[in-house]
Amino acid sequence: MSHVEIWIALVGMAVVTVITRALFLMAGEHVSVPDRIQRALRYAPAAALAAIILPDLMTWQGHFTAALSNYKLMAGVVATAFYLLTRRMVGMIAVGMAVYTALRLLG
């Protein structure tokens, strides 16, 4: 790919992004979203986060595995349990990283 093609692609992606996001702002009150869709959109951030994180947690050394030897998955399970008990996000990150580091060093 040449430099010109890269710049064309970048500008095109920026234009598409701005247009798709600005349409909702430009429409304002003229467009109303049904209540059912508004309720469904509340789950979009959690679904997107799960789609990003779960594939990484479920693979170990390039293979899909749900075994105890998958340190990332075990750390994720412990971190999730910690969050469900305490509702502390920073603590969840610290516990998850501590468990992952300990499993890697001891394993």
H helix intervals, 1-107:
3-27, 35-41, 44-57, 71-86, 89-106
User: Is the per-residue pLDDT at 12 higher than 80?
Assistant: yes
Q: What are phi and psi of 60, to 5 degrees?
A: -140, 125
Round the CA-based radius of gyration of the chain to a whole number and report it. Answer: 21
* Average pLDDT for 7-21: 93
User: Is the per-residue pLDDT at 24 higher than 80?
Assistant: no
Task: Map out the domains of the chain as residue ranges.
Answer: 1-32, 44-106
- Greater confidence (32 vs 86) lies with 86
What's the pLDDT tens digit per position in 54-102? 999 998 888 888 888 899 999 999 999 999 999 999 999 999 999 999 9
Report CA torsion sign: 5, 11, 17, 19: negative
User: Is the per-residue pLDDT at 39 higher than 80?
Assistant: yes
Q: What are phi and psi of 34, to 5 degrees?
A: -60, 150
